């Protein structure tokens, strides 16, 4: 198959019913959800039966996505599909760190529940939102952002796509300036200004939570959103600071490819990262976990 990496998705791909096939077809997936339900009752029900609006609440989105992603990764690994490297987009980095062995599964789930809570609290303090800017270069997007006091380029996703966070009151004018520059600003399905200074207090709170847990040696190479490089020893700093700093996703993927990764499996309920891969480097193989499992089963 090649040299494999698992890439774990972040918020935005959540939808009602996510994880249903996994729970119905794989006992190890059901076991993961049982563990999550034991720590946070109702997690499985939210994944399978929650409304789109309920799943968009950060305090719900993050534990539900983590549960689905950990279940999917566990199914693959039980079948002998073992990654040489892992990376996760935003909250996906906590799932990636768990699969990499830095946290045990219960600790990883507790952490992502706390992460969702503190980020929800910060989101409720301000009227903020996010957009994906397409068709412009990073330099062009940054130039437009500099015109505004509270609008920030935050996720460098792939060529021609950068996510921007900011005050909702400034986003209308920002979008108009983006159109004038030849781009488009597309609203994202989140209710906060993630990876921006608006999340500084959430990052600090999560850092305090990380101080209370055991951090173990990784067993799989793990890449950082903050640096786009493999993790150093500063696990707690890298995981907390990424909450209020940009996600360097395009650089991360390119660094993984430079080190020999040629096959990427997106672990999550959608195909956002797989779509990005086609723009970052169409020469490598990228596939969603559910497509991979259906193909393996001959469906």
Please list the active-site residues. Answer: 90, 195
Residue 60, CA atoms < 13 Å, CB-side half-sphere: 21
How many other C-beta atoms can be found within 10 angstroms of the C-beta atom of residue 293? 21
List Cβ neighbours of 50 (8 Å cut-off, separation of 6 or more): 16, 60, 64
How many other C-beta atoms can be found within 10 angstroms of the C-beta atom of residue 241? 19
Check if the beta carbon of residue 176 is closer than 8 Å to that of residue 297: no
Give which of 17, 19, 21 is closest to 52, Cα–Cα: 17
Check if the beta carbon of residue 185 is closer than 8 Å to that of residue 136: no
Angle at 83 between CA 80 and CA 87, to 5 degrees: 145
- Cα separation of 133 and 114, whole Å? 30
């Amino acid at each position: 198959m090649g040299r494999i990496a698992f890439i774990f998705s972040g918020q935005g791909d959540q939808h009602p019913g996510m994880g249903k096939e996994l729970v119905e077809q794989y006992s190890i997936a059901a076991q993961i959800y049982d563990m999550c339900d034991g720590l946070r009752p109702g997690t499985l029900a939210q994944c399978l039966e929650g409304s789109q609006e309920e799943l968009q609440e950060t305090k719900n989105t993050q534990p539900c996505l983590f549960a689905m992603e950990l279940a999917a990764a566990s199914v693959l690994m039980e079948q002998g599909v073992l990654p040489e490297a892992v990376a996760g987009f935003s909250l996906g980095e906590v799932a990636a760190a768990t699969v990499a062995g830095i946290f045990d599964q219960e600790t990883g789930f507790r952490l992502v529940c706390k992460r969702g809570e503190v980020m929800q609290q910060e989101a409720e303090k301000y009227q903020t939102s996010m957009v994906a800017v397409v068709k412009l270069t990073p330099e062009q997007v940054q130039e437009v952002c500099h015109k505004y006091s509270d609008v920030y380029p935050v996720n460098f996703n792939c060529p021609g796509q950068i996510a921007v966070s900011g005050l909702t009151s400034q986003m209308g004018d920002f979008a108009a300036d983006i159109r004038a520059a030849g781009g488009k600003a597309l609203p994202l399905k989140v209710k906060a200004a993630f990876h921006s200074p608006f999340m500084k207090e959430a990052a600090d709170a999560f850092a305090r939570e990380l101080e209370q847990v055991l951090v173990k040696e990784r067993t799989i190479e793990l890449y950082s959103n903050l640096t786009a490089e493999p993790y150093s020893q500063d696990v707690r700093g890298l995981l907390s600071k990424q909450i209020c700093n940009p996600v360097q996703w395009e650089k991360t993927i390119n660094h993984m490819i430079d080190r020999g990764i040629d096959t990427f499996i997106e672990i999550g309920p959608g195909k956002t990262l797989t779509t990005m891969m086609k723009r970052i480097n169409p020469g490598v193989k990228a596939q969603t976990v559910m497509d991979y499992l259906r193909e393996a089963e001959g469906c």
